[in-house]
Structure 1
Amino acid sequence: MSTGTELAGRLALVTGAGRGIGEAVVAALVEQGARVLATDLAFENVTALADKYGEQVTARPLDVTDAAAVEALVAEAERTLGPLDIAVNVAGVLRSSDVVDLTDEDWAATFAVNTNGVFHVSRSVARRMAGRGRGSIVTVASNAAGIPRAGLAAYAASKAAAVMFTKCLGLEVASRGVRCNTVSPGSTLTDMQRALWTASTDQEEATRRVIEGDLATHRTGIPLGRIADPADIADAVVFLVSDRARHITMHDLYVDGGATLRA
């Protein structure tokens, strides 16, 4: 199934692999010859990926908020599939609300997936990678982690925490050959993005508003004039886990068409 060999012989774990950016990451890794353990709460979605890619993809259900389940899955994978060379944290949720209306449940649920989930997975794989003296961990965060966004306080804060956690982990394991980086997308054509467009049922109009920006919400537009495709984010992930990025760690790569002006 693969068309490239850059990652041939490597085993990758991808969370949130069932759709959107996660699905695109699986496709990009497979294309470069990696074997992928694709995980998601929506097991039927990752099963479809296993059916599509055959032996290169193994599907497993996973709730990243459950530390014991994460540890059990990683242990099983290393026992049955081999040592993990790559881990990509994609699983995420977004619950939009102004802070004054934000519920305790929405705040906790957002951090449970976007921050605690990254911690659970990264801790488990880093222990093993560090012992072997090699490995690469990439966390898919968000450009909202670096610039204030109205209505996205919980999401932005959880992603900012995930970015700094990944950098701290990278510092701790660098001497043992493990690289840890983050990719921070801007607006990307996924179900999560479309969920923010409830004010407009016209996708063309909604897309135009995102590209042009919105002064009322203090939101800049996208200088490159387009919304990202999930494959754009996946390509950045593949670069960071490849040997081309062998001297890059603790880096936060923005893939947002210039939307944040790298504030």
Structure 2
Amino acid sequence: MSAALDGRLALVTGAGRGIGAAVVTALVHEGARVVATDRAPEGVERLAAEHGDGRITARPLDVTDADAVERLVDDTERALGPLDVAVNVAGILRPSAVVDLTDEDWAATFAVNSTGVLNVSRAAARRMTGRGRGSIVTVASNAAGVPRTGLAAYAASKAAAVMFTKCLGLEVAGRGVRCNTVSPGSTLTDMQRALWTAGDETAAARRVVDGDLAAYRTGIPLGRIADPADIADAVVFLASDRARHITMHDLYVDGGATLRA
């Protein structure tokens, strides 16, 4: 086990599967204790049981409920000690052309992807600033910076999360708290698979790598879809002292897909 985050306490949202679960695993590998949260508790409970060493505490959490977030952070600090790291991974994706987008889908997307980031980051920052240390990392998306057909609500909500995290980072930098974002491209998760039509997963992945001119979508220059661990490694780096002089940064982890356009 590495010791980059030895003894530190981290909170991770959306930790039941995919990128969130990978972030929890990576943090534990680096020596951290982790409070793994998800709206559906089964995934985080399974993750804690799989590790079986007591370093993961599983808790249910709906990030859209500000009061519930405050209670969980309070309970965490009373039971486990001061929070050193907070990672916002919880997110939803409801694809739709704008002309067909429902008010409910728009509101639900922003409630999780943007307001959820506010609720968790605010609760963490209130406590971290008083101690003069801490790191907040938000997992956003490269869609926040490059237009995508059918993803207007998702892209807009992630863009809001990125700029919110940067503004928070500016406000708390003088009190020793760093705030950064990681923006993945296509990553092999259930969310990614939901965008594919039923059929051969290998062929679907190949189409993502090759790109789609009709949808104005570039391919992936590195020639592969990301694994959740690729995103988790970037999160852990930004959370650790190896990134001690990095704040308000948006780190794209997309194999070059956006061409930084």
Report the TM-score, using the length of structure 2 for normalisation: 0.99
TM-superposed deviation, 1:201: 1.2
- Equivalenced residue count is 260
Alignment partner, residue 225 of structure 1: 223
TM-superposed deviation, 1:223: 0.3
Alignment partner, residue 174 of structure 2: 175
The CA RMSD measured in Å over matched residues stands at 0.5
Q: State the one-letter code of the partner of 1:190.
A: T
Unaligned runs of 5+ in 1: none
Alignment partner, residue 127 of structure 1: 126
TM-superposed deviation, 1:44: 1.0
Alignment partner, residue 87 of structure 2: 88
SS at match of 1:55: coil
Match runs of 1:20-169 below 5 Å:
20-53=18-51, 54-169=53-168
Q: Deviations over 1:69-117 (max 9, x none)?
A: 0000000001111000000000000000000000000000000000000
Counterpart pick for 2:209 among 202, 208, 211: 211
SS at match of 1:183: strand
Q: Deviations over 1:50-81 (max 9, x none)?
A: 11223100000000000000000000001111
Q: How many Å separate the matches in 2 of 1:27 and 1:42?
A: 18
SS at match of 1:94: coil
Runs of 4+ in 1 over 4 A off after TM superposition: none
Q: Which moved more, 1:72-81 or 1:43-52?
A: 43-52
Counterpart pick for 1:9 among 7, 18, 23: 7
Q: Deviations over 1:196-238 (max 9, x none)?
A: 002x411111011100000110000000000000000000000
Q: How many Å separate the matches in 2 of 1:204 and 1:61?
A: 34
Q: State the one-letter code of the partner of 2:50.
A: K
Q: Deviations over 1:159-182 (max 9, x none)?
A: 000000000000000000000000
SS at match of 1:138: strand
SS at match of 1:205: helix
